[in-house]
Copies of this chain bind each other. A is one copy, B any other.
Amino acid sequence: MLLSILYIIGITAEAMTGALSAGRRKMDWFGVMLVASATAIGGGTVRDILLGHYPLGWVENPHFLAITCIAGIITTGLARWIIKLKGLFIRLDALGLIVFSIIGTKVAMGMGLHALICIVSALVTGVFGGLLRDLICRQTPLVLHEELYASVAIIASGLYLTLLEFGVHDVTATISTLVIGYLIRMAAVRFKWRLPSFHLEGEGSVH
């Protein structure tokens, strides 16, 4: 129930960030709705396709899709105002990331899959929306360069699985994961925590 409300807040916020990317590419309203929806529910869609988990969430509940399309269009009118709320959106995005990770973990657990695949499921749910947005808008995928993001999805999923493993009640595990995951993500943004990155110069290639 809590998770459902947070999920709707999460997809709305993600849809708005997607719409802003579409605006930077001067897309029309259809493009705005497409990028908004791909950003918000693309991660869950890729997860369900990879796991063979049909029907997809938004096929069963078309109102999720309606929400992301409407959030995208509203963003076109409020863009200047939304950009000023950068701090709020970073917080909502952090919250969305943890909510998506918990939902991804639950879906894979419900299918009886290996713990490693539960974590991958969380990762895909949390990260692939943003990847799709950046692919469609032809910009360098942020998640592959910036502060800890994918790692936070992995940590959140691992924490949630561990708590359940130790017999913690689902509600307690969910709330603990939400709080701790959110704080880790916000700390990563504030202190610019990053994974090591791999720079390879020159034309060296094995192809």
Contacts and interface: CB of A to CB of B under 8 A. Distances in A.
Contacts of A89: 206
* Contact-residue bracket for chain A: 35 or more
Each complex incorporates copies of this chain amounting to 3
Interface stretch (A77-85, A97-105, A166-174, A179-187): A77-85
Contact of A23 (B32, B136, B199): B199
B55 A52 contact: yes
A207 interface: yes
A115 to B, nearest CB: 9
A150 interface: yes
B198 A28 contact: yes
Contacts of A149: 30
A29 B206 contact: no
A86 to B, nearest CB: 5
B55 A59 contact: no
A6 interface: no
Contacts of A55: 51-52
Interface in A173-207: 194-200, 204-207
